[in-house]
Structure 1
Amino acid sequence: MKNQQRLFALLSAGGGTAVLLFTLLFSLTRPLQAMSCNVSGGGSIQSAIDDVNCDTIIVAAGTFMENLNIGRSLTIQGAGASGTIIDGGGNGRVVTINGSVTVYLDNLRLTNGDATGESIRFREGGAIAVLVTTQEAQLMVNGDRFLNNIANASLDDFDTNEHTGGGAISLMAMNTAGRITGTITSAYMSGNAAKAGNTNTGEGRGGAIHARGATLIVRQSTIMDNISDARGVEGFGGGVYIREPDTGDYLEVVGSALAGNTAANS
């Protein structure tokens, strides 16, 4: 009660200055509000990602020729997988996610991603790659379509082991301290490829999905006509490849169809 009386006296004595100070202190203690940002046709999704005030990015129907880099938690919401298309143009991965973040991708089509040009260690995930070291990250995908993406390790100068994985999605923890949780719901993946062209010991792993250091749950999704191919040793997991189940990697598939996927050694 005494504190309240002192505050009242201060406000009365200080006039507008005290009221201004009180208002400023109150505003500084209020939690920041999440903000939605709209990207119209012809706009830039990456610009919205770079705006730290945009927590939910609502993307209109249209084709966006972009290669996105995400390093913070956010949601990208499309107008439907047949309407909002993010096209990598064969110039790189469609989406790269780094760090301890939670990313939600909803009702998008991700197509024509090519991880061939990424750094040698990370030629994985033609459409999406989640890359962590000691962090924990989470990827949630809902209602998305992944078409004709490629993770390709085929440069002629590779003369040692070279592996590639996840034509559509790669969840990649580089050491045991990192962990990724991936939830894929109502997705469609087709025509994606993980190819290792090394003539020595290269391996293709997971034509559609590759996971290492990850917990992966796939629900009500279709994974079909994807390929894991290698000239060196062989391809593993034409549809899905889980790297190290003996060290905690986990896959759960519920109500989904996997058909026509191929693991080959060509």
Structure 2
Amino acid sequence: MPRMLDVSDDVRAEIGDEEADRLLAGDNAPGAYDCTSCRTPGDSEQERTSTVLFIGEETAVLAFAHATCIPSQVVSVAEEQLKGAVRSITGEPGAEAQATVPAPASPAAPAAPAAPAAPAAARQATLGVTCGLVLVEDDLRPALVVEPNSPIARPGSAGLDDDFLPLLMEQGFHQVTDMAALPAGGVGWSVLVAMGQLHAVLQDSGETGSQNAWWKAHQPLPVSDGWRAAVNKSQTVLVYAAPHGSIGQQPREDLMREALEKAAAHGRLVAMAMPLAGT
């Protein structure tokens, strides 16, 4: 039976037209599946379903997701993580121990830092990213808090000024003056959550309409069940950013909220509401 599958051009290019057509015809596609993003059941015979191709150095795994969670796309992941997922699926010995990812220490657990981001690449720095829930307009919202580990200068500048916030505002971020107000959205930005984990913050390349990773986790970041439930509900992530030394690594979400409010009061906080999307 034909399936209600979305197969992106990137996925089709990787698996080939013949395999893509077989999937659409229902030959190799499951009816029922567990969504690779929200981990809840789906049915490709009853609802729009995205094909998601995970690619490591040597291994590739085709998975399925609710089209309302993430679009059809190709996602690069660490080879060992992908092999662990395959072992878990096939039930090979040792699969449980090798495929399990560590749970976050708290809802505000920090992600591993990534390489320098696009608009802030002049001075070598890494971006620390923390996941947490923030109360905005009487609702708990999924949020990311971004803070560099050192000041960031404008590309080409020889000065010592920290231009992190001006650079972000030029890219569509908005000054935060009230943490109780929902940040405005922007154009060309999105957050990639796949396999129930945070992978990257993406930005349009401006050339072919594709997206590049502005921030990318060295290893996909496990998120709390509450954060994942909130993002599946809203399909939007609030991304806050502050200059080096403004927020710090806070062990609890209430302390994170206090740090964000303090940064906003001193004019040191910008934000953008970003949709879930892929490459």
Same fold, TM-score > 0.5, yes or no? no
Q: TM-score, normalised by structure 2?
A: 0.25
Report which of the two has the higher share of helix.
2
The structure with the largest alpha-carbon Rg is 1
